[in-house]
Amino acid sequence: MRKFIGDFKEFLKRGNVIDLAVAFVIGTAFSAIVTSLVNNMIMPPIGLILKNVDFSNLFLVLHAGKIPGPYVTLAAAQKAGAVTLNYGLFVMSIISFVIVALVIFSLVRGINRLYPKPTAPVTTKNCPFCATAIPMAATRCPHCTSQLEGHD
């Protein structure tokens, strides 16, 4: 048990756990912003274009509740105990996901542009006699057999 607790303490001391916790908190706050953006800014114009469709009230009654339908709103159907398939809320969730994915993609893409592109390590040099690429550790050129400077 002591080994387990010691390993757990080591795990917590690593920076990755703190980074993950911070990312989770920021992600949760960002999720609230995106949900508000979808529900209050994007879906109303889409609903207006589609002739005043309110996506939060798009549902299909699978089984009527104690109070028979028809139900005008999803809240009324749920209050009556009806079993519903809430495809409007599902569409809103898909739109939220696409927006989050687009924002994260844009953010990662922008951050990647800030970092310099990694350069491949230099593994060859040019022979000063025949200008052919040769390995860095070479003491003699395999093409022209010249002895390279600095290596006897």
Q: Where are the domains of the chain?
A: 2-58+91-119, 120-152
DSSP 81: T
Each residue's pLDDT tens digit, 69-84: 788 888 888 888 889 9
Confidence of residue 151 (pLDDT cuts 50, 70, 90): low
Distance of CA 80 to the CA centre of its chain: 39
Superfamily in which the 2-58+91-119 domain is placed by CATH: Large-conductance mechanosensitive channel, MscL; domain 1 (1.10.1200.120)
Average pLDDT over residues 102-116: 86
pTM: 0.56
Confidence of residue 55 (pLDDT cuts 50, 70, 90): confident
Q: The tokens 């927006």 sit on which residue?
A: 99
Please tell me the predicted confidence (pLDDT) of residue 149. 77
Torsion sign over Cα 143, 147, 149, 152:
positive
Amino acid at residue number 18: I
